[in-house]
Amino acid sequence: MSENTTTTSGKERIVLAYSGGLDTSVAIGWIGERTGAEVIAVAVDVGQGGEDLEVIRQRALDCGAVEAYVADAREEFATEYCMPALKANAMYMDAYPLVSALSRPVIVKHLVRAARQFGATTVAHGCTGKGNDQVRFEVGITSLAPDLKCLAPVRDLALTRDVAIEYAETHKLPIETTKHNPFSIDQNVWGRAIETGFLEDIWNEPTKDVYSYTDDPTYPPLPDEVVITFKEGVPVAIDGHAVTPLQAIQEMNRRAGAQGIGRIDIVEDRLVGIKSREVYEAPGAMALLAAHKELENVTVEREQARFKRGVGQRWTELVYDGQWFSPLKHSLDVFIDDTQRYVSGDIRMVLHGGRATVTGRRSEQSLYDFNLATYDTGDAFDQSHSKGFIEIYGMTSKLAAARDVSFGNGVDLSAPANLSA
């Protein structure tokens, strides 16, 4: 990337989140014409696949950007964003593993970094005024750099899809244009999000062409057994082979995806108040989440685990709502990390036909005591203690029930039981 930090033209500079696609390629010139500013294109690779970063960088320059900043953030995204989500067991509405929401703060960080490097006063993004991402980008940007302004060409400068196609054709931009693109797709190493088109009718079933990360679970290959090793809540080995967080996600994407695991189809509550039909594919994420949850069942103390479920849900909502850099999110991170101190060990899973099924667990930090749990000879649990425990445990309810009876508010047991012959 260039090290230039000043503008010799005297013009204002705007940093644009650049994907390399039609809309953001057109936005480079569109922003320049309507604001008089120079545009810095910023492309961040979070594992979305597709074109080489250098190709994207050159396209940005060919479309009129005065500078182009490109970053390979795949390892950073996997380690610093996906792993905290795994530790939190983050599932929005108990179904969605925050595929898009997790990628926005790492992109935001690079946008702000580029703005500082190149002397920009504004950061632009390609979001519409209806979705969650406009909030995630702008709240994230102003949380890191309160002095920066935000601009959304689609929302603020009337850059609609048909206008973008016409502009690209008129200016002969080096980008493919098409009026027929049925889906809006966002993807990264943690998963893939698909919306719009015929999916907006929530009665319509997704067709086979919707999916890319997963094969049809109706006709799976033979069952695939995998052993995932965790250390303090993070996968560190698969089948005994050491892996980085990125490698763990990629390997599980491949193996769980081949079994059709991780297909999600939900009507989701957006932050802006709209209900939206969303289809996701997250094979690696869903398999790793299932393994991590089960290892927590073995290693996390009961009351801590109960409280963590509420913390994890709140953490998930904050991230979904674009509050990655908020004080509360930071405080919850500290608690969640503390709960992972003993979440180490192995989980054996069978991947098959759309399901990731845990079949074995082992951990040196396990709270499972065979001698306490067994009903066979060798049982170390003194069952004589239970009678007194139940008496004390139920005392408050017993006293309250007695009061209800004395005031005529007890449960009505006069109605005959409905017994069948």
Per the listing, tokens 């709240």 go with: 139
The whole-number pLDDT of residue 377 equals 76
Is 98 inside a domain boundary? Answer: yes
In three-state secondary structure terms, 168 is helix
The two tokens of residue 100 are 């898009």
- Which of 126, 158, 181 terminates a domain? The answer is 181
167 in a known ligand binding site: no
Per-residue pLDDT in tens (0 to 9) along the chain, 421 residues = 444 444 556 899 999 999 988 889 999 999 999 999 999 999 999 999 888 889 999 999 999 999 999 999 999 999 999 999 999 999 999 999 999 999 999 999 999 999 999 999 999 999 988 889 999 999 999 999 999 999 999 899 888 888 888 999 999 998 876 666 668 889 999 999 998 889 999 999 999 999 999 999 999 999 999 999 999 999 999 999 999 999 999 999 999 999 999 999 999 999 989 999 999 999 999 999 999 999 999 999 999 999 999 999 999 999 999 999 999 999 999 999 999 999 999 999 999 999 999 999 999 999 998 888 878 877 888 888 999 999 999 999 999 999 999 998 888 888 777 766 5
17 in a known ligand binding site: yes
**128 & 191 share domain:** no
**64 & 113 share domain:** yes
β-partners of residue 349 are 226, 358
The whole-number pLDDT of residue 402 equals 93
**Going by C-beta distance under 8 Å and a sequence separation of 6 or more, which residues neighbour residue 368?**
298, 361
CA distance 164 to 377: 75
**218 & 248 share domain:** yes
**Going by C-beta distance under 8 Å and a sequence separation of 6 or more, which residues neighbour residue 198?**
182, 204, 207
- The parent domain of residue 382 ranges over 374-401
- Given the DSSP bridges, would you call strands 122-124 and 149-151 parallel, antiparallel or unpaired? parallel
**270 & 334 share domain:** yes
Which CATH number covers residue 306? 3.90.1260.10
89 in a known ligand binding site: no
**172 & 264 share domain:** no
- Which of 181, 214, 244 terminates a domain? The answer is 181
53 in a known ligand binding site: no
CA distance 32 to 35: 5
Is 281 inside a domain boundary? Answer: yes
Alpha helices in 203-326 (DSSP H): 245-258, 283-299, 302-320
**324 & 382 share domain:** no
**266 & 210 share domain:** yes
Residue 273 Rama label (left phi>0; alpha psi -120 to 50; beta): left
Q: Where are the beta strands (DSSP E) in 3-145?
A: 13-17, 38-45, 67-72, 122-124
The whole-number pLDDT of residue 180 equals 64
The two tokens of residue 123 are 């950061």
280 in a known ligand binding site: yes
CA distance 99 to 253: 13
268 in a known ligand binding site: yes
410 in a known ligand binding site: no
Nearest to 65 by CA among 120, 132, 112, 104: 120
* DSSP classification of residue 140: H
Is 62 inside a domain boundary? Answer: yes
The whole-number pLDDT of residue 1 equals 45
Is 5 inside a domain boundary? Answer: no
Phi, psi of 61 (to 5 degrees): -65, -40
Which CATH number covers residue 114? 3.40.50.620
The whole-number pLDDT of residue 21 equals 87
The whole-number pLDDT of residue 179 equals 65
The two tokens of residue 38 are 């120079």
The whole-number pLDDT of residue 4 equals 45
CA distance 242 to 217: 28
Q: What total of structural domains would you count in the chain? A: 3
Per the listing, tokens 């006293």 go with: 399
**390 & 344 share domain:** no
Nearest to 284 by CA among 300, 262, 268: 262
Is 124 inside a domain boundary? Answer: yes
**222 & 341 share domain:** yes
**251 & 217 share domain:** yes
Is 65 within 8 Å of 28 (Cβ atoms)? yes
- Single-letter code of the amino acid located at 281: E
Is 88 inside a domain boundary? Answer: yes
- Which of 181, 199, 225 terminates a domain? The answer is 181
**Going by C-beta distance under 8 Å and a sequence separation of 6 or more, which residues neighbour residue 229?**
235, 236, 237, 238, 240, 345, 346
Q: What share of the chain is helix, strand, coil (3-state, %, to 5)?
A: 45, 20, 40
**254 & 155 share domain:** no
Instruction: Dihedral sign for Cα 50, 52, 57, 61, please.
Output: negative
Active site residues: 23, 104, 133, 184
**350 & 380 share domain:** no
The whole-number pLDDT of residue 382 equals 85
Is 411 inside a domain boundary? Answer: no
The whole-number pLDDT of residue 2 equals 42
Nearest to 81 by CA among 185, 234, 227: 234
CA distance 146 to 135: 15
The whole-number pLDDT of residue 349 equals 98
Q: CA 235, 190, 218, 221: dihedral to nearest 10 degrees?
A: -50
260 in a known ligand binding site: no
Is 201 inside a domain boundary? Answer: yes
